[in-house]
Amino acid sequence: MIRKIMRNILKHVIVLLLPLLLLACSTPAMTASEKVTHALDDHGEVRPFSERQDDSKRVDAAIIEAAQSDKKALIVMGANWCHDSRALATHFEKPEFKELIQSSFILEYINVGRKDKNQDLARRFGLDGTPGTPTVLIIDGTGALLNPEEAPTWRNAASRSESEIYNYFESYAAVSADP
């Protein structure tokens, strides 16, 4: 009961502080409605992992937007060199996935290089870096990681069936923000 009350208080504090936090960001993050579709490369795959300096701010903005919109932040930590990272991102471009993602998540792609970049972001959520790519974080509006056990298990995303992947994210879409 106390945990639920504290989560509600934290959620309201985050929502109230959103304008100040967004002003503090030197490079404003795009909102979900401003995000563009990633083009497919010559092999029919998406390559959404780019070099940026503001990855931590983008994660913070995604969590804040998730809190405001009663969604969850979906942080995919991967790399364009990784077939599994590209495969998962390519699934997310399919119409049935796009609908699910847009209605339930705020999606951000974070580049981990050769697992030598942004490891602090994974550790921030209790993981020991990114043991594989992609590492998939599902974070509620209070900043709590909802899938700590499964987050680092996506390094076989290319070999998972489309229905298995869809069902996984659909199960988290159904999780209430206030347990």
Determine if residue 59 is left, alpha or beta; phi over 0 gives left, psi from -120 to 50 gives alpha, anything else beta.
Answer: alpha
C-alpha 70/C-alpha 103 separation (Å) is: 10
User: What SS3 state is found at 80?
Assistant: coil
- Residue 135 has a pLDDT of 98
3-state secondary structure 24-43: HCCCCCCCHHHCCCCCECCC
Query: Which string of b and e fits 150-174 if b means at least 16 CB within 10 Å?
Result: ebbebbebbebeeeebbebbeebbe
| Cβ proximity of 63 and 73 under 8 Å | yes
- Residue 96 has a pLDDT of 95
- Residue 22 has a pLDDT of 41
| Cβ proximity of 38 and 49 under 8 Å | no
- Residue 47 has a pLDDT of 83
Q: Read off the pTM.
A: 0.77
- Residue 48 has a pLDDT of 85
Which domains, from first to last, does the chain contain? Answer: 2-173 (3.40.30.10)
- Residue 119 has a pLDDT of 95
Per cent of the chain over pLDDT 70 is 73
C-alpha 7/C-alpha 144 separation (Å) is: 10
- Residue 40 has a pLDDT of 56
Please list the ranges in the chain whose pLDDT falls under 50. 12-13, 15-37, 179
Structure tokens at 131: 């043991």
